[in-house]
Amino acid sequence: MTRLAMLVLLALEFAVCGCANNTPSTVTNTSTSGNWEAQLINPSGGQASLLNFVVAFNVTNTGPLNITGFAFFNQV
């Protein structure tokens, strides 16, 4: 019984490993960039509404997110 179980597990391992080697032949290059803005709103008009900021970014493929700019702005 244990030999049969070992053979079944070995066959299952070969089947799983054989399916995992499917790599794409072409790579699609994608990139994006933009601005992300956050504006805090305080209904009573307190100091929290002065902490507004904008972040400029870009990213290519699945690489890291590059922050290209960061600024605070105040609307009084």
| Tens digit of each residue's pLDDT (9 = 90 or more) over 3-54 | 888 888 878 777 776 665 566 667 678 899 999 998 877 777 666 667 788 9
* Distance in angstroms (rounded) separating the CA atoms of residues 3 and 65: 52
Domain spans of the chain? 32-76
pLDDT at 33: 92
Half-sphere exposure of 54 (CA within 13 A, CB side): 8
Six-digit token string for 63: 């690489």
Query: Does 67 have pLDDT greater than 90?
Result: yes
Contacting residues for 32 by C-beta, under 8 A, at least 6 apart: 58, 59
pLDDT at 73: 80
pLDDT at 39: 81
pLDDT at 56: 94
pLDDT at 21: 59
